[in-house]
């Protein structure tokens, strides 16, 4: 088994990436404090090129690796944040890579506009899913409307989808799929960040 197999979580980065939608994900995968197996995973950014990209918040990110060289067998998951590129040809390589991952049985997590791109590509036609709103996806003329769920996050087989207003739920679903935390720790994590219950903090401190 190669050193990266099933240990690297790949975060797609591109101009207009919505910083706030993946902040919980990146920060907590890289924080080993409460993890079930500390150090098992690492985040690696991936993009169509190696030039710096500028996020929606104006941060400049230097990609670690090239999308074209990414193989599903070398990844634990591909995460697609929201962005303004999703309805354009510039986003097609990311959709193609998501299809490759799903065909290989490797998880993909998409939030906000990234779900729109997957819808346009037909990747939501036969999977339960969610997004920013049913009307958002319906406006695209996709064929998966009967599978839409009015929920913060939906997991169907190897696909995690979420709306822009659910970054905490998106993170929780990713952590659960990766088995990053034991169940009681994940419950306390969500109690703190999702329910804003300070009891979650003290539970985490004693974990």
- CATH (domain of 101): 3.40.50.880
Give pLDDT, residue 131. 98
Q: Give the pair of three-digit tokens for residue 67.
A: 């999308």
Range of the domain at 86: 8-181
Per-residue pLDDT tens listing for the chain (207 residues): 333 456 999 999 999 999 999 999 999 999 999 999 999 999 999 999 999 999 999 999 999 999 999 999 999 999 999 999 999 999 999 999 999 999 999 999 999 999 999 999 999 999 999 999 999 999 999 999 999 999 999 999 999 999 999 999 999 999 999 999 999 999 999 999 999 999 999 999 998
Residue 41 belongs to a domain: yes
Give pLDDT, residue 22. 97
Rounded to an integer, what distance in angstroms lies between the CA atom of residue 154 and that of residue 105?
A: 17
Q: Where are the beta strands (DSSP E) in 16-114?
A: 42-47, 53-54, 60-61, 65-66, 77-80, 108-111
- Strands 60-61 and 53-54 turn out to be antiparallel
Residue 133 belongs to a domain: yes
Give pLDDT, residue 19. 96
Give pLDDT, residue 207. 82
Residue 187 belongs to a domain: no
Report the number of distinct structural domains present in the chain: 1
Residue 148 belongs to a domain: yes
Residue 2 belongs to a domain: no
Residue 23 belongs to a domain: yes
Residue 107 belongs to a domain: yes
């Amino acid at each position: 088994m190669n050193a990266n197999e099933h240990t690297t979580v790949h975060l797609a980065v591109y101009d207009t990436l919505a910083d706030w939608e993946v902040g919980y994900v990146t920060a907590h995968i890289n924080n080993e404090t409460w993890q079930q197996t500390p150090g098992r995973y690492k985040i690696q950014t991936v993009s169509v090129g190696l030039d710096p990209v500028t996020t929606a918040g104006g941060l400049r990110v230097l990609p670690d690796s090239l999308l074209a060289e990414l193989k599903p067998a070398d990844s634990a998951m591909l995460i697609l944040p929201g962005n303004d590129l999703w309805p354009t040809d510039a986003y097609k390589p990311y959709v193609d890579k998501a299809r490759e991952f799903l065909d290989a049985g490797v998880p993909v997590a998409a939030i906000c506009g990234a779900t729109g791109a997957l819808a346009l590509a037909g990747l939501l036609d036969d999977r339960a899913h969610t997004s920013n709103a049913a009307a958002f996806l319906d406006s695209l003329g996709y064929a998966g409307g009967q599978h839409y769920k009015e929920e913060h996050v939906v997991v169907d087989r190897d696909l995690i989808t979420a709306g822009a207003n659910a970054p905490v739920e998106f993170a929780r679903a990713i952590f659960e799929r990766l088995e990053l935390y034991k169940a009681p720790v994940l419950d306390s994590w969500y109690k703190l960040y999702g329910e804003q219950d300070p009891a979650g903090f003290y539970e985490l401190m004693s974990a």
